[in-house]
Amino acid sequence: MRINGSEILINTLIDEGVDIIFGYPGGAVLNIYDAIYKNENRIKHVLSCHEQGAAHAADGYSRATGKVGVCLATSGPGATNLVTGIATAYMDSVPMVAITGNVTTPLLGKDSFQEVDIVGITMPVTKHNFIVRDVEELQQTIRKAFYIAKEGRPGPVLIDIPKDITAKLCEYESKEPIEVKKEYKFVTDKALANFADFINKAKRPLIFAGGGVISSGATEILKELALKINAPVTTSLMAMGAFPGDNELYTGMIGMHGTKASNLLATKADLIIAIGTRFSDRVVGSRDHIKNAKVIQIDIDPAELDKNIKTDANIVGDVKYTLEKLIDLIDEKRNDQWLELMREYKALKGHKEDAENLTPELLFNSLYKDFGEDLVMTTEVGQHQMWAALHYTFLRPRTLITSGGLGTMGYGLGASIGAKLALPHKKVVNIAGDGSFSMNAIELATAVSNRVPVVIIILNNGCLGMVRQWQNFFYESRYSYTTLNRGTDYVKLAEAYGAKGFRVTEPSELNEVLDKAFNSEVPVVIDYVINIDKKVFPMVAPGAPIDDIISEA
């Protein structure tokens, strides 16, 4: 079958199992959009208000499903507007394919109208990228892009397609996706036996799970390991839900805003079993902070082993496969004294209870009580993000969708749209701060026009809360440009977009508003008004030992 490049693109996306594209049209991608129009019964397109919103929606779709998300933009500013979303996906190992148009091949490199070297720009924040200069290479390039996005440690791939390539004719034949074969050559009997020896000798083991547990589908085998050795389990932000949050062994998030239990246990453990995590600076700043423990690590990316924390043993391999091979070599343990210490630490509070006022704790407790079994949560970035991690109980993987590595304000709304379209039967809520929400609030129009009934809850404290908190602790309360004073009426803003808006100022109002919001057929914005001085506790100062905890209680 002889068809043009645009039709090859759409047909190959369908071959790869793509059912939805998030994008924004422009001159360089007109041929592609014409092909989308002709195939609208085979593939859905969601028009964002800004290309960054399209990238975040593709990212949210991917995190919610584990599938490859796809976004599309035109050349020049359209392509550069995707960069923040691509970088967000890269830092959190999210499989995504970003497709950009470009000027025709004869005009490349001539500073043509709306021309940028998007391949050069995105090279540091993609697993790989391509520019297609021959239509004969287009189909195979797309197939390779999807393979690379999924293979090994997942991540984003960019395909840049000049406009003339989208118009040229070429033979096309439908093909199955390239099979992703997992690499197991480093998961040897010797490495597994050495790993098992560390675990079997440990008296105070602590499991530290990262996002790789979710990416590899290893949540069940992780639980089996934890129960077999009776080890407390802590997670990174990316791994919330990888281990059931209501299980007795779960101690919460670790790190700068980790729970007291997780941070203190890390300093008392004699073995830390790090699984699918990279020891970022927001988790453990130095090996000196956990000097009582030996550290063993499993990760699919060899670059992450010994990069931030020197390990005593490590294995390069898929987390699920490695744990399945390891589990039969592990002895059962009781660890009674260790678990008693865990329970003592879990009883410690990092914040003061407040039953009189609107608080983050009240919000997240109410959300869990009413919708916990059926809720997918996205977040923006800031205090509200940390409150969600600390106070909401995540029971299953892929139920917290948040920007961890890059910390992208404005991420959550687009991501919630992608997640809701991927999981229409689930209730999807975006937790926002007023600063983050304002960055990409225009995507509310995307939600309304595409009838995506997400709920946005703005923890409105009238400031850039996390930055202001740092100014309070480390800059003698010099609040330089973090008090917003914008006077935005978020209820009226929601209504202007065609959404519903509610304001909550008293605890007694919350449950009724939540019930109305989650039963709405249109998007809802809830303006949840909290005190400007409300802080995230516990907290560890940057570079400080993780047991040097600043707390409110």
155-195 confidence digits (pLDDT tens): 999 999 999 999 999 999 999 999 998 778 899 999 999 99
Burial class (CB in 10 A: 0-12, 13-18, 19+), 155: buried
Q: Where are the beta strands (DSSP E) in 322-388?
A: 375-379
Please give the pLDDT value at position 107. Answer: 87
Q: Which residues in 39-77 are b (16+ Cβ under 10 Å) and which e? A: beeebebbebbbbbbbbbbbbbbbbbebbbbbbbbbbbe
Q: What is the rounded average pLDDT of the residues 491-518?
A: 98
Does the annotation count 113 as an active-site position?
Answer: yes
Average per-residue pLDDT for the chain: 96
**Catalytic-role residue among 67, 127, 150, 163:** 163
**Catalytic-role residue among 113, 186, 473, 474:** 113
Query: Residue 159 contacts by C-beta under 8 Å, 6 or more apart in sequence?
Result: 97, 98, 99, 100, 129, 130, 132, 141, 142, 145
45 — phi, psi (to 5°)? -120, 135
Residue type, 551: S
Distance between CA atoms of 269 and 203, rounded to whole angstroms? 8
Contact 551, 542 (CB under 8 A): no
Please give the pLDDT value at position 355. Answer: 82
**Catalytic-role residue among 7, 16, 51, 115:** 51
What confidence tens digit (pLDDT) does each residue in 401-437 have?
Answer: 999 999 999 999 999 999 999 999 999 999 999 999 9
Residue 545's nearest CA partner among 255, 324, 331 is 255
Does the annotation count 182 as an active-site position?
Answer: no
356: left (phi over 0), alpha (psi -120 to 50) or beta: alpha
Measured CA to CA in angstroms, residue 504 lies from 218, 323, 354, 507, 520 at distances of 39, 46, 17, 8, 17
Percent of the chain at pLDDT exceeding 90: 92
What confidence tens digit (pLDDT) does each residue in 303-328 have?
Answer: 999 998 999 999 999 999 999 999 99
Does the annotation count 466 as an active-site position?
Answer: yes
Does the annotation count 539 as an active-site position?
Answer: no
Q: What is the rounded average pLDDT of the residues 278-283?
A: 87
Q: Is the pLDDT of residue 105 over 90?
A: yes
Please give the pLDDT value at position 410. Answer: 98
Q: Is the pLDDT of residue 553 over 70?
A: no
More confident of the two residues 356 and 478: 478
**Catalytic-role residue among 240, 253, 386, 466:** 466
103 — phi, psi (to 5°)? -65, 165
| Residue 242 half-sphere exposure toward CB, CA atoms < 13 A | 32
Token representation of residue 122: 């995105």
Q: Is the pLDDT of residue 340 over 70?
A: yes
Does the annotation count 52 as an active-site position?
Answer: no
pTM of the predicted model as reported, rounded to 2 decimal places: 0.96
Instruction: Kindly indicate the confidence band of residue 33, based on its pLDDT and cuts at 50, 70 and 90.
Output: very high
Q: Which domains does the chain have, with CATH numbers?
A: 2-171 (3.40.50.970), 189-346 (3.40.50.1220), 360-536 (3.40.50.970)
Instruction: Kindly indicate the confidence band of residue 269, based on its pLDDT and cuts at 50, 70 and 90.
Output: very high
Please give the pLDDT value at position 447. Answer: 98
What confidence tens digit (pLDDT) does each residue in 116-143 have?
Answer: 999 999 999 999 999 999 999 999 999 9
The string of DSSP codes covering 424-455 is TTSEEEEEEEHHHHHHSTTHHHHHHHTT---E
Please give the pLDDT value at position 517. Answer: 98
Instruction: Kindly indicate the confidence band of residue 288, based on its pLDDT and cuts at 50, 70 and 90.
Output: confident
**Catalytic-role residue among 44, 114, 333, 349:** 114
